[in-house]
A and B are shown apart, each in its own frame.
Chain A
Amino acid sequence: LAKTTQPISMDSYEGQEVNITCSHNNIATNDYITWYQQFPSQGPRFIIQGYKTKVTNEVASLFIPADRKSSTLSLPRVSLSDTAVYYCLVGVEYGGATNKLIFGTGTLLAVQP
């Protein structure tokens, strides 16, 4: 599985755009890039997933350059409720029927008023 590297923490203010970059230099050809969000005492929540270029949904955008060795999660106009840990995951380990997610330590985003 491709190893991911992301900042341990980030600070922002309400109303700002936040970009969290994840490095995954050894991403495999068929790997997808997935981001999850986790609030304290809750399970992770799927945010967005992509393979290349740009993906946008109602919550976030995901930018993936042509070489796919990194990706950037963009959260527009964050609010206090966006304070959470954000996990970047690359690839899902397929082995037989295995479909497990491999989480790192994530990025703790702290949004201040």
Chain B
Amino acid sequence: DTGVSQDPRHKITKRGQNVTFRCDPISEHNRLYWYRQTLGQGPEFLTYFQNEAQLEKSRLLSDRFSAERPKGSFSTLEIQRTEQGDSAMYLCASSLESSGAVPDTQYFGPGTRLTVL
């Protein structure tokens, strides 16, 4: 399977613990995105990488959240001192930078479901 993969698929943690999620994009894709989705809502943008450079972070991404993409390949999203409000599905997507005005097609992974007790 050459799609976007995420690990773990499920994570249960206690409030105050740190968690780290991993995303492996489609190999030739240079753009990588993180989104968060809560029940009944569409995904919300968190952050975006072009190669290894993190180019934008949403206001949702507080100082407890950090993301990295070393060497422009896989990415990790870390949440420190988790809170119950962090419980959500965390989605990763990747795309190949397109030329011209046509937007990139973003390919999503299956997500990591976080439950904070």
Contact = CB atoms under 8 A, between A and B. Distances in A.
Contact of B93 (A32, A43, A105): A43
Interface residues of A, number: 24
B43 A41 contact: no
Interface in A20-46: 30, 32, 34, 41-46
Contacts of A95: 56
A104 B48 contact: no
A43 B108 contact: yes
> Is chain A's binding surface mostly helix, strand, loop or mixed?
loop
A39 to B, nearest CB: 10
B103 to A, nearest CB: 4
B48 A103 contact: no
A22 to B, nearest CB: 13
B76 interface: no
Contacts of A87: 42
B31 interface: yes
B40 to A, nearest CB: 7
Contacts of A34: 103
Contacts of B106: 46, 99, 101
A105 B55 CA distance: 26
A98 interface: yes
B91 A43 contact: yes
A68 B43 CA distance: 25
A72 to B, nearest CB: 19
A99 B95 contact: yes
A93 to B, nearest CB: 8
Interface in B9-34: 31, 33
Interface of A: 30, 32, 34, 41-46, 49, 87, 92, 95-106
Interface of B: 4, 31, 33, 35, 40-45, 48, 50, 55-56, 58, 89, 91-93, 95, 101-111, 113
22 contacts: A34-B103, A41-B111, A41-B113, A42-B110, A43-B109, A43-B110, A44-B43, A44-B91, A44-B108, A46-B105, A46-B107, A87-B42, A92-B104, A95-B56, A96-B56, A97-B55, A99-B33, A99-B106, A100-B56, A101-B35, A103-B43, A105-B42
